[in-house]
């Protein structure tokens, strides 16, 4: 896993029945679910739960890019660690990076990133990423 400066926020989850395909391995689309759980919990950890962020800053954070790389298969009941950190702050977007590994094993099962655009809720026009979001997430910035 990444060892650059900055913290990683990590959650543990199990691969569930609904996460696997007929071959018995994790369905590739389910990695996005794990990314979203880690993202949501990261924001909660820094004191900005999504239940408050959108009203407080009058913004939405739609995904404009999602990317995955797959390295190892995961199977039902595997205990995984999903790490989230900030890859980049832009003026009107931020990139969150994710790493997924089977707990206790070296090497990643998958990694990827999502780019979140910041838009005004009523107009959907680009808006600056609120300074408070940048401030509280900066400890999790890794280049």
At residue 129, φ and ψ (nearest 5 deg) are -65, 125
Residue 30 lies in a domain: yes
Range(s) of the domain holding residue 100: 9-134
Residue 110 lies in a domain: yes
2: confidence class by pLDDT, cuts 50, 70, 90: very low
CATH number where 101 lies? 3.10.129.10
The tokens describing 115, both together, are: 């780019």
Is residue 35 pLDDT above 70, yes or no? yes
Residue 1 lies in a domain: no
Residue 50 lies in a domain: yes
pLDDT of residue 4: 59
The count of structural domains within the chain is 1
Question: pTM for this one?
Answer: 0.92
Residue 46 lies in a domain: yes
Sheet with 9-14: strands ordered across: 9-14, 79-89, 93-102, 110-117, 63-70
> pLDDT of 92-137, one tens digit each?
999 999 999 999 999 999 999 999 999 999 999 999 999 999 999 9
Residue 71 lies in a domain: yes
pLDDT of residue 67: 97
Q: How far apart are CA 2 and CA 140, in angstroms?
A: 12
Residue 141 lies in a domain: no
């Amino acid at each position: 896993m990444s060892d650059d400066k900055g913290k990683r926020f990590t959650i543990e989850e199990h691969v569930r029945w609904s996460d696997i395909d007929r071959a018995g391995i994790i369905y590739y689309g389910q990695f996005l679910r794990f990314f979203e759980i880690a993202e949501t919990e990261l924001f909660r950890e820094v004191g900005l739960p999504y239940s408050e962020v959108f009203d407080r800053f009058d913004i939405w954070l739609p995904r404009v890019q999602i990317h995955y790389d797959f390295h190892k298969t995961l199977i039902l009941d595997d205990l995984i660690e999903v790490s989230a950190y900030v890859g980049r702050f832009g003026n009107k977007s931020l990139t969150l990076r994710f790493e997924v590994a089977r707990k206790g094993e070296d090497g990643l099962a998958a990694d990827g990133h999502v780019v979140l655009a910041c838009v005004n809720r009523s107009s959907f026009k680009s808006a600056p990423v609120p300074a408070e979001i940048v401030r509280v997430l900066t400890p999790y910035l890794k280049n």
